[in-house]
Structure 1
Amino acid sequence: MGKLRYICFLVFMLIWQVSISQITHPKMSPFSSVKQEIGLVTITIDYSRPSARGRNIVGDLMPYDRIWRVGANESTKFTTSHDITIGEHLLKKGTYVLYAIPHKEYWEVIFHTNLTHWGDGRTDYKPQEDAFRIQIKPEKTADFQETFLITLNHLDHNSGIMEWIWEHTKVSIPIKVDTHEMMLGRIKTLLKDNPTAMSYYQAARYYQEQDHDLIKALKWLDKAETLGGRTYYIHRIRSLVLEKKKDYKNAIKEAKASLKIADSLGKDEFVRMNQKNIEKLQKLL
């Protein structure tokens, strides 16, 4: 028993010594992750953020004409949930490494398929493993960015801009997504089997927002009302569809119906929206 206790004691001391010897240090370039929806696409960027700390960056710490990892530590990963377009290039859904080669007049932005390289992969990097490269002219910024930043900005249903910002330099990479075709496919599936009133309403609302096949949108609103009854939001969207068709008289009628139901339910926001729209439509008669 004494021998067994001694062995257990030795094992415990060994584990304890190993645990205290492995100190986790804070990173000079901390990890960050950006997750952003563009339309129905989700884009995730995992990278580490170095800081200038008084150093000259572009052309010095980040030399011209040499590959850069777009951050620090491990290679920067770019993941898209669906096919997208970068510049004029199709990028299939999946994960890629972001690299860049800064030049004095322009930058080469690289989407690379080999995910195994650590850092910039200079010794093992092979250009033939690039998905593609695009050339981007960098911008000079008035404000100084101390810590390297990747952000997705200027967003709408169909596009966004990935921005890399450090020191007084910003590189903007355009992203396009085909939200409309994706939505048409989803609507087709949604309305295929036992659609509900809400299914028809959501489909009609999207068509109204995109100014797409307004006659079909009105038919779907009728079906939504048949299945779910009169609602302030069905009347609201029908009013907006009729406005786009320049049927201002019936658009006002539908807006008033929406306002009345919304008022009875205490939906003040919809009351105000309908009042404002009625005033606008009356001027168009």
Structure 2
Amino acid sequence: MNHPKASPFSRVEQKVGLSKIIIEYSRPSARGRTLFGNQENGEPGLVPYGRIWRVGANESTKISFDSDVIIDNQELKKGIYALYAFPEKDQWQIVFHNNSTHWGDGRTNYNPKEDALRILVLPIKTHDFQETFLISFDELDHNRASMIWSWGNTQISIPIQLDTKSIMQRQIDKELSSSASAQTFYETARYYQEQGIYLIEALSYVDSAIEKGGDTYYYHRIRSLILADLNRYTEAIKVAELSLELARKEGKDEFVRLNENNIRKWQTLLPHNK
């Protein structure tokens, strides 16, 4: 019989750069109970210090990565892992476990020989109370994220790093090795400009995009940004003026404003204005 669970199932999917992290777990609620450590009368709380915790309820909490990651300066291969923790008052051991099939709190089935990775983290005491256990992600950019566990007044933050630059470069190399389109050249140039890398190559790629795809406000906008990054402000202003004109013709008010702002900024950086 299908019936509602006291600790309902939840699934979290987070994109980080070009990689995906998925967490499947159950969410217990505090319901007035002491969560970690001992109660005031000395009796164990829901998760006693030093005892393995399944990081949720019901079956093992699972985390999957579709790319290799770095956690606490240690490499973890892509795959599916069970998450376990050994809470203590001042520090927690966090375990990424190769066997993700266990049911229950882990005390009977957990085998440390099957650990893929262990790290130590410091628990954070929070002012706000989180009634129902929550796993979320914060501090996101192309290359990293923090996995956050929150329950009661305790929070755990686990930094996860990804080598998005290498993943993206492999994709670029593959796309450029065939008959690349104007859009491929443009997206490559835009990515390099956003990351502040390979700017000379980026300029060449956006020129190829313009040659293949013609004059567009967004091609020329990226070209102006690359030139400015190369400190070639006079050229950047001329290209931004062209991008502005093309954007105005298409009614792209936001890009008109962006180009106007850049032109004003770059004019102050010209040698005669210093």
Match of 1:282 among 261, 267, 271: 267
> Is the counterpart of residue 32 in structure 1 residue 10 in structure 2?
yes
Q: Which amino acid aligns with 2:246?
A: I
Match of 1:186 among 171, 177, 184: 171
Query: 2: distance between equivalents of 1:220 and 1:149?
Result: 44
2:256 match: secondary structure: helix
Query: 2: distance between equivalents of 1:100 and 1:214?
Result: 45
- Structure 1 contact 99–120 (Cα < 8 Å) conserved: no
> Is the counterpart of residue 68 in structure 1 residue 48 in structure 2?
no
> Is the counterpart of residue 234 in structure 1 residue 227 in structure 2?
no
- Structure 1 contact 150–165 (Cα < 8 Å) conserved: yes
Query: 2: distance between equivalents of 1:210 and 1:161?
Result: 21
Q: Which amino acid aligns with 2:8?
A: P
Query: 2: distance between equivalents of 1:278 and 1:244?
Result: 13
> Is the counterpart of residue 105 in structure 1 residue 85 in structure 2?
no
> Is the counterpart of residue 119 in structure 1 residue 87 in structure 2?
no
Query: 2: distance between equivalents of 1:77 and 1:57?
Result: 21
- Give the corresponding residue for 1:260: 245
- Give the corresponding residue for 2:42: none
Structure 1: gaps spanning 5 or more residues: 1-21
- Give the corresponding residue for 1:3: none
CA deviation digits over 1:38-83, x for unaligned, max 9? 1111000000000000111011111000000000111100001110
How far apart are 1:122 and its partner, in Å? Answer: 1.1
How big is the alpha-carbon RMSD for the aligned residues of Structure 1 and Structure 2?
0.8
Query: 1: distance between equivalents of 2:193 and 2:46?
Result: 52
- Structure 1 contact 45–77 (Cα < 8 Å) conserved: yes
- Give the corresponding residue for 1:6: none
What percent of counterpart residues are identical?
56
* TM-score normalized by the length of structure 1: 0.91
Query: 2: distance between equivalents of 1:34 and 1:63?
Result: 26
Query: 1: distance between equivalents of 2:197 and 2:108?
Result: 52
Query: 2: distance between equivalents of 1:48 and 1:164?
Result: 13
- Structure 1 contact 201–224 (Cα < 8 Å) conserved: yes
Range moving further from structure 2, 34-43 or 211-220: 211-220
- Give the corresponding residue for 1:197: 182
- Give the corresponding residue for 1:249: 234
2:110 match: secondary structure: coil
How far apart are 1:240 and its partner, in Å? Answer: 0.3
* TM-score normalized by the length of structure 2: 0.95
Q: Which amino acid aligns with 1:80?
A: F
Number of residue pairs the alignment of both structures matches = 263
CA deviation digits over 1:190-234, x for unaligned, max 9? 111110000100001111111111111111111111111111111
Query: 1: distance between equivalents of 2:90 and 2:122?
Result: 7
How far apart are 1:125 and its partner, in Å? Answer: 1.2
Query: 2: distance between equivalents of 1:25 and 1:213?
Result: 57
Query: 1: distance between equivalents of 2:209 and 2:101?
Result: 52
- Give the corresponding residue for 1:13: none
Q: Which amino acid aligns with 2:222?
A: I
- Give the corresponding residue for 2:159: 174
1:55 match: secondary structure: coil
Q: Which amino acid aligns with 1:236?
A: R
How far apart are 1:116 and its partner, in Å? Answer: 2.1
2:86 match: secondary structure: strand
